[in-house]
Amino acid sequence: MSALNFLFDGFLVAFQWHNILFAFVGVLIGTAVGVLPGIGPMSGVALLIPVTATLTGGLPPESAAASSIILLAGVYYGAMYGGSTTSILLNTPGESSSVVTTLDGYQMAQQGRAGAALSIAAIGSFVAGIISLIGLVLLAKPLSNVALEFGPAEYFSLMLLGLAAVSGLAGKSMTKALMMTVFGLMLGTIGIDAVSGIARFTYDLPILYSGLEFLTIAVGLFALGEVFKTILEREHEDGAIAKISRILPTRQDMKDSTAPILRGSFLGFFIGVLPGAGATLASFFSYIAEKKFSKFPEKFGTGAIAGVAGPESANNAASGGAMIPLLTLGIPGSGTTAILMGALIMYNVQPGPLLFNDHPEVAWGLIASMFIGNLMLLVLNMPLVKVFAKIIQTPKRYLLPIIVAISFFGVYAVQYTTFDLYLLLACGVLGYLLTRNDFPVAPLVLALVLGPMIENNMRRALTISNGDFSIFVTKPLSLALLLIAAAWLLVPLLLKFKGRAIVVNEED
């Protein structure tokens, strides 16, 4: 069957009434999550995993997995849309990938062109979403076929690469990111060893035999961590919201935005495919590229519409591109896709090369639903710009209790243990302390998801080779992946040392 036939089958899944409803709810909540400063797609997706488990409880396992991931993915790319609203109206990024949008978007709002900036961001995000999905349809099946040739050694090296990629690019300090990665790997070893049956780090507590639940840790670190941060640091929005008059962009705005939207879409997609690169990097690269291409680079930073169109297209295309390594290789390229991967595994759906053969309803249903979701987002965002702008004004005293309630009820509904509620609270405090001291939590979550899989594949490879570790370097593909992983970690360090050496020489 061709990719188009598979996609047609996916649309049959996506057009089921409950999946259309899940896609709509996902993109609506995602837009709201993007609009609210500080929550972000990672917290939003983590918060809704227990909700999806409750909503899909009466469906068959395969349908429940498809419906849940459709809703969660909708939150993911919906948040990419919504993040531009606060950047443009309040000069406050809804999430990190919208930081660049503040440079020209807020300036446009100050000039009375907030509506044009918001609508161009919505149009750019829609075009980028469609382009990235076409790329996903064309590349997903061929890549999964290539990945079917992977053995345990290749899988071990590939997952190590995914871990190195996110660890090397997360946060301000690579040392702190690697510390969080190791911490996540350590947490992943708690429980009964699947091979030997020996209890590890359980301290004779039966509740720990099954290990720490990914859902509890993710919701605690991201959602409750943000709640504690807001309460303890007494964060308040001080900015004045710019007024929105005309919503539709002018013909000249469309002319000035067309090329940046297309360039940002392709650039964002290819950056998104790289594990660890992510939407933030894509939006920065797009802004730099647009400034280079522009005939009037001096206008950037003063309200150039290309400075909104390019980065907003790039960050949305990157979210589509990031689905490729997740679905075809089982390698999450960012913190949010790591949480999506954890959600799939929770439904006994293993992302990777066998996903398209073993669970076509989930894989192609998700891809088809993203086409529908992007269209919903365009319809939602254009006329409801003023409505979403009002969400920014939601007082924290109402918002925070809702987040806490959803976190506790959601985790308890899935786990049914008070231990997980205590663990949730502890992870919330830990999440606050880590982010306050610039320790990135995304590598911890990724390591928790990938750790057991890395260990299992390493053991399988060593069983095949009778304990000979050279199997990881004698197989060409495994060696290549290990070398790329090493380069991913070492090159930034070498560049940093080289930069320091140049500074020292100049001072001398």
Is the confidence at residue 227, as pLDDT, over 60? yes
The identity of residue 218, as a single letter, is A
The DSSP line for 308-371 is HHHHHHHHHHHHHHTHHIIIIIS---SHHHHHHHHHHHHTT---STTHHHH-HHHHHHHHHHHH
Segments in 16-100 forming alpha helices (H): 17-35, 40-55, 61-90
State residue 393's pLDDT score: 59
Comparing 364-378, 382-396, 427-441, the range with the smallest average pLDDT is 382-396
506 against 473, higher pLDDT: 473
The two tokens of residue 392 are 């920014």
Burial 420-430 (b: 16+ CB within 10 A, else e): bbebbbebbeb
40 against 273, higher pLDDT: 273
Rounded CA separation 67/23 (Å): 8
Comparing 33-37, 114-118, 199-203, the range with the smallest average pLDDT is 33-37
179 against 38, higher pLDDT: 179
- Give the DSSP H/E element, type plus range, for residue 120: helix 114-147
Place of tokens 């509620």: 421
**Model confidence band, residue 45 (pLDDT cutoffs 50, 70, 90):** confident
pTM of the model: 0.68
State residue 507's pLDDT score: 57
Query: What's the mean pLDDT in 33-38?
Result: 67
- Give the DSSP H/E element, type plus range, for residue 248: none
**Model confidence band, residue 168 (pLDDT cutoffs 50, 70, 90):** low
Query: What's the mean pLDDT in 265-287?
Result: 75
Helix (H, G, I), strand (E, B) or coil at 239: coil
Is the confidence at residue 448, as pLDDT, over 60? yes
| Beta strand spans in 107-266 (E) | 191-192, 199-200
Burial 491-500 (b: 16+ CB within 10 A, else e): eeeeeeeeee
**Sign of the C-alpha dihedral computed for residues 53, 55, 57 and 60 taken in this order:** negative
The DSSP line for 380-396 is HHTTTHHHHHHHTT--H
SS3 for 268-291, per residue? HHHHHHCCCCHHHHHHHHHHHHHH
State residue 1's pLDDT score: 55
Is the confidence at residue 481, as pLDDT, over 60? yes
333 against 365, higher pLDDT: 365
State residue 328's pLDDT score: 80
State residue 496's pLDDT score: 72
Average pLDDT, the chain: 79
Question: Exposed (0-12), middle (13-18) or buried (19+): which is 199, by Cβ within 10 Å?
Answer: middle
State residue 386's pLDDT score: 67
Question: 75 with 339: CB under 8 angstroms?
Answer: no
State residue 166's pLDDT score: 65
Rounded CA separation 464/176 (Å): 35
Comparing 302-316, 401-415, 464-478, the range with the smallest average pLDDT is 401-415
The two tokens of residue 389 are 């702008």
State residue 148's pLDDT score: 66
Query: What percent of the chain has pLDDT above 90?
Result: 6
Helices and strands: H and E segment counts in the chain: 23, 2
Is the confidence at residue 212, as pLDDT, over 60? yes
Rounded CA separation 281/473 (Å): 31
Torsion, Cα of 340, 341, 346, 349 (10° steps): 120
**Model confidence band, residue 235 (pLDDT cutoffs 50, 70, 90):** low
Rounded CA separation 84/97 (Å): 9
State residue 91's pLDDT score: 65
State residue 242's pLDDT score: 53
The two tokens of residue 417 are 């243990």
Question: 137 with 400: CB under 8 angstroms?
Answer: no
State residue 454's pLDDT score: 86
State residue 435's pLDDT score: 84
